[in-house]
Amino acid sequence: MISGEDGARADLDLVTLIVACADPPLSATPEQTALLRLCTAPLSVAELSAYLNLPYSVMTVLLTELLAADLVQARAPIARQSIADRTLLEAVMHGLQKL
Amino acid sequence: MDFKSSDTIPGPRTEDHLPHTAQAAVKIVIVGGFGVGKTTMVGSVSEIKPLTTEETMTQAGIGVDDNYGSDTKTATTVAMDFGRISITDQLVLYLFGTPGQERFWFLWNGLFEGALGAVVLIDTRRLEVSFDVIGRLEERGVPFVVAVNSFPDAPRYPMADLRAALDLPEEIPIVECDARRRASSRDTLMTLMRFLHSLAMTGALT
């Protein structure tokens, strides 16, 4: 459900990881350019919102445009499932134990 | 939101970049009233300096806490601090410190719905704030544990008394923590993870 024209927004979560897949085109707005330069390595929507000092809702509009133009790629988060993935939970526990 | 020059945009420090191999993220929500230590807990375990995402509420700003400063009479800015822990090269965990008032939760789409679970952080001097939070999480089917932040000047109660006061079901863990200490905050997160794991084992997660 990616569309920038009918007002629909991409299905983004605070922790969807965003990666730029192209250099900013000449036609890019300053906001788009700033965003594309920020996410040359993966960053969450939340981090982009924080670094660019833009509200989350504005961020999702910007990202919807960039996704529609294939300038960024979105890596969907792993959401809680009705039956939790034990392997995932164990990986998180293992990661926390290393702290 | 005019950017005069992209040079002025503060970005992540080099060490705050995620590796290109990062494939997916999960999130845990730390929820509680103002001043209960949410940001302290996030900061004590986060690998990045806690960041803030803001959202503007244009309506229903009546009765909003003083701490969420407002620009105008009708627009209120609500802030949420968050941090990050890299679990593996592929998997990243984000921690969000979220206001306890449910009317703010919808501002960040799916904040609780997609979360692995939540930590309800409690200050024994203001227990009443927690009743509502616990009720809302139960209604939404968000699995959670309760952590009592041990402020030096806060009264100490036996956990059993707090459990009774909060009307907390027997199966939901309640632990004491010191949100300023990394090990203590990590142990609190581990309590949540073990609880989630036990739910997964019994297939009770809904």
The closest of B184, B189, B131, B183 to B162, measured between CA atoms, is B131
Segment B92-112 shows an average pLDDT of 88
Distance from CA of B73 to the nearest CA of A (A): 19
Say if CB A46 and CB B53 are below 8 A apart: yes
The closest of B62, B134, B149, B144 to B102, measured between CA atoms, is B134
Number of domains in chain A: 1
User: Confidence band (pLDDT; 50, 70, 90) for B206?
Assistant: very low
B112 touches chain A (CB under 8 A): no
* pLDDT of res. B105: 85
* pLDDT of res. B6: 47
Domain spans of chain B? 21-202
Question: Which chain B residue shows the shortest CA-CA distance from A79?
Answer: B114
A1-5, A39-43, A55-59, B23-27: the lowest-pLDDT one = A1-5
Distance from CA of A73 to the nearest CA of B (A): 11
Neighbours of A83 (CB within 10 A): 11
CB under 8 Å to B36, separation ≥6 — which residues?
A: B100, B121, B122, B123, B126, B129, B149
* pLDDT of res. A4: 44
ipTM: 0.91
Distances in whole angstroms, Cα of residue A49 to Cα of each of A31, A67, A87, B7, B168: 12, 16, 30, 17, 36
The closest of B131, B123, B130 to B151, measured between CA atoms, is B123
The answer, as to whether pTM is greater than 0.80, is yes
A35 touches chain B (CB under 8 A): no
**Distance (Å, whole) CA A42 – CA A65:** 18
Domain range for residue A65?
1-99
User: Confidence band (pLDDT; 50, 70, 90) for A85?
Assistant: confident
* pLDDT of B204 higher than 80: no
Q: Which fold has domain B21-202?
A: Rossmann fold (3.40.50)
* pLDDT of res. B71: 45
* pLDDT of res. B119: 98
**Per residue in A4-35, is it b (16+ CB within 10 Å) or e — as a string?**
beeeebbebbbbbbbbbeeebeeebeebbbbb
* pLDDT of res. B173: 98
CB under 8 Å to B119, separation ≥6 — which residues?
A: B28, B29, B30, B31, B41, B144, B145, B146, B147, B188, B189, B192
Residues of chain A found within 8 Å of residue B199, distances taken between Cβ atoms: 84
Q: Residue holding tokens 């594309």?
A: A36
User: Confidence band (pLDDT; 50, 70, 90) for B8?
Assistant: low
The closest of B48, B24, B41 to B116, measured between CA atoms, is B24
Torsion of the alpha carbons at B35, B41, B42 and B43, rounded to the nearest 10 = 100
Torsion of the alpha carbons at B84, B43, A35 and A74, rounded to the nearest 10 = 20
> In whole angstroms, what separates CA A80 from the centre of its chain?
18
The closest of B40, B110, B86 to A98, measured between CA atoms, is B86
Distance from CA of B120 to the nearest CA of A (A): 18
Say if CB B8 and CB B88 are below 8 A apart: no
CATH of the domain at A57: 1.10.10.10
What pLDDT digit, counting tens, does each position of B36-48 carry? 999 999 999 999 9
What pLDDT digit, counting tens, does each position of B146-179 carry? 999 988 888 889 999 999 999 999 999 999 999 9
Instruction: Mark yes or no for CB contact A34/B3 under 8 Å.
Output: yes
Amino acid at A4: G
Say if CB B77 and CB B55 are below 8 A apart: yes
A93 touches chain B (CB under 8 A): yes
B140 touches chain A (CB under 8 A): no
What pLDDT digit, counting tens, does each position of B55-85 carry? 988 764 445 454 454 444 577 888 999 999 9
* pLDDT of res. A9: 79
